[in-house]
Amino acid sequence: MSIFLKQVFVGLPKTVGNKQAKNPMEREWTSAIFKVLVEGPVWVGKTGLAGDGQWDLEHHGGPEKAVFAYGFENYTHWQKELGISEITSGAMGENFVMEQINEEEISIGDTFQIGGAVVQVSQPRQPCWKPARRFKIKNLALLLQNTGRTGWYFRVLTEGFVEEGQTFTLVDRPYPRWTIQNCNQIIHAKKQNMEEMRELSQCELLAPGIRTTLEKRIEMRETPDIRNRVFGPNE
C-alpha cells in the first residue's frame, strides 16, 4: 500500500481571542496552530519547513520536532465523533497530511524518502490544550491522547524540497515494535508498566527528550501530572 503526502501546511504564530473575555476558552492566546495550505514545492530543513514557525519554543520545534504529521483518516473519526465538519486537514496544526497510514502502522525510526528529503519518525505528539482552545472542546487533548490519534513528529535526515501528491518510500524500519500507538499506550497508561517503559526508553531513535522523561519516571516511579499540558489556561 502506498503512503501519500496529501497536503502540506505551514504557518507562523498569530494572536486571536479577547483579553477581556470571562470564558477562558474565549481569551486571547497566541499559537502557530493556524496553518495554511502550501501549493508547489516547499523546502524541508533540519528544523522545519520554510514559512513555518512556533510560538512556544520550549515545547515545540527543534530538530526532533521538525515536521508534525497527521493521518488524514483520523479526521473522518473526529468529524463523526465530535460533529464538527471544520475539523479537517490542517486542523491539528500539522505540516504533513498523510494518507494510507496511521498511528498503528508507523513506528519510531521509520525512515522515508519523500521528494528530495529523507525524514525519520522521532516521537509521538503529546497533545496540549491548544487544539482544544481552537475548537472550544475542553477535553480534546485528552481525547487525542486516549484514542492514540496524536500524530507524530519527523526529524529531517536529508534536507530537500517536497510537495503534495508525492509518495513516501520506506527506506528503513528498525523498530517495528515501537509503533506510535504502542508508544502512546506506554507513555500515557494510568497503570504504568515499568518494564515496557524501560525498554521503550532504550530505543535509540526515540527523541532524547522523551527518553529522558521516561527514565525520570522509572526512577521516581510516579505518574506525571498532565493537567497543565492537556487543560492549561482553558480551565
The per-residue pLDDT for range 207-219, each reduced to its tens digit, is 999 999 999 999 8
For the beta carbon of residue 183, count every other beta carbon within 10 angstroms: 26
Domain at 3-234: CATH architecture: Beta Barrel (2.40)
Q: What is the mean pLDDT of residues 69-88?
A: 95
Q: Give me the pLDDT at residue 224, please.
A: 74
Question: Mind listing the pLDDT tens digit for each residue in 26-78?
Answer: 999 999 999 999 999 999 999 999 999 988 767 677 899 999 999 999 999 99
Question: Mind listing the pLDDT tens digit for each residue in 126-183?
Answer: 999 999 999 999 999 999 999 999 999 999 999 999 999 999 999 999 999 999 999 9
CA-wise closest residue to 144 among 157, 162, 159, 130: 130
- The full set of domain ranges for the chain reads 3-234
- 159: cell is 534536507
Q: Give me the pLDDT at residue 1, please.
A: 65
Mean pLDDT of the chain, nearest integer? 94
Q: What is the pTM of this model?
A: 0.96
The C-alpha torsion from 141 through 146 and 151 to 157, rounded to 10°, is 110
Q: Give me the pLDDT at residue 61, please.
A: 76
